[in-house]
Amino acid sequence: MEKLIITAAICGAEVTKEHNPAVPYTVEEIQREAKSAYDAGASIIHLHVREDDGTPTQDKERFRQCIEAIREVAPDVIIQPSTGGAVGMTDLERLQPTEIEGTEMATLDCGTLNFGGDEIFVNSENTIKNFGKIMIERGIKPEIEVFDKGMVDYAIRFAKQGYILEPMHFDFVLGVQMAATARDLAFMVDSIPAGSTWTVAGIGRHEFPMAAIGIAMGGHVRVGFEDNIYLDRGVLAKSNGELVERVVRIAKELGREIATPAEARQILGLKER
């Protein structure tokens, strides 16, 4: 099997310090959490940013500050800004981090999602097409975020129409709209085009079971405070690095080596830095 790419989603837009005091808000805290994940073995930092009070923002300058701070402590890590932002943001707000020069990857959500309660994360067909077109123009590889099988089908359709370049890289986020089981992950993996790469992110208590299954299947893994704040049942993780360390231990038990950022770029077809 090829080496394992570990992505660390270090803060997200919904989880707060009230959930776990280690969730980062400030530039310095984001730098700290990115370093902890990188030092533990993550080669990709999936990045949301916050104002100092924890308010989610897609402000380009805030992203720039956080990216520069991360580069100081993890110069070769792949930084993957989120274009998801937070529920209720406009398309133009969400696209701001793709304007930053040197952006290698960014997320591209391929469908509308029931996010809990009355919250709906809207991604219309035109939004998906527009985001894909802009990423092609800016030389950014999208990570196709999918929460159910229909979103895979959208990605394939829009790739055929020229809005997404192949080979595609998928992130299967399981445990929100679609169940997080081995059956469901296998179904998703069997649904993507040959030559695609994929990562699995299990939400909450599903994080480590899905990571283990994904590793054994030859895929890649995402962990981090955006998806899960616990190291064990009732035990809060002290850092994103602790979550990455757990995945590294599982990978070693299953015979998978961990990819460096340079090796991750090669696997994903990104340019060398």
State the average pLDDT over residues 88-106: 93
- pLDDT tens, residue by residue, 193-242: 999 999 999 999 999 999 999 999 999 999 999 999 999 999 999 999 99
Q: How far apart are CA 85 and CA 103, in angstroms?
A: 16
- pLDDT tens, residue by residue, 113-156: 998 788 888 999 999 999 999 999 999 999 999 999 999 999 99
- pLDDT tens, residue by residue, 45-64: 999 999 999 999 999 999 99
* Vertex 230 angle, CA 150 and 20, to 5°: 105
For residue 267, count CB atoms less than 10 angstroms from its CB and return exposed for 0-12, middle for 13-18, buried for 19 or more. middle
Q: How far apart are CA 194 and CA 255, in angstroms?
A: 24
Domain locations in the chain? Answer: 6-268
For residues 110 and 123, the answer to whether their CB atoms sit within 8 Å is yes
pLDDT score at 99: 96
pLDDT band at 244 (very low <50, low <70, confident <90, very high): very high
**Longest CA–CA separation in the chain, Å:** 47
Chain CA centroid to CA 255, Å = 24
* Vertex 180 angle, CA 109 and 44, to 5°: 50
State the average pLDDT over residues 102-112: 97
> Is there a cis peptide before residue 209, judged by omega within 30 degrees of 0?
no
Q: How many helices (H) and strands (E) does the chain have?
A: 9, 14
86 has a pLDDT exceeding 80: no
When the candidates are 3.40.50.2000, 3.20.20.70, 1.20.58.220, 3.40.50.970, the CATH number that belongs to 6-268 is 3.20.20.70
* pTM over cut 0.95: yes
Q: On the CB side of 173, how many CA atoms lie within 13 Å of its CA?
A: 24
Question: Dihedrals φ, ψ of 223, to 5°?
Answer: -135, 175
94 has a pLDDT exceeding 90: yes
DSSP 17: T
pLDDT score at 273: 72
Three-state SS sequence of 114-146: EEECCEEECCCHHHHHHHHHHHHHCCCEEEEEE
Chain CA centroid to CA 97, Å = 15
- pLDDT tens, residue by residue, 165-174: 999 999 999 9
DSSP-assigned letters across all residues of 73-111: H-TT-EEEE-S--STT--HHHHTGGGGSTT--EEEEE-S
The CA-atom distances, in angstroms, between 196 and each of 6, 39, 92, 170, 269 are 17, 28, 28, 7, 11
Helical pair 27-40 and 240-253, crossing angle rounded to 10 deg: 10
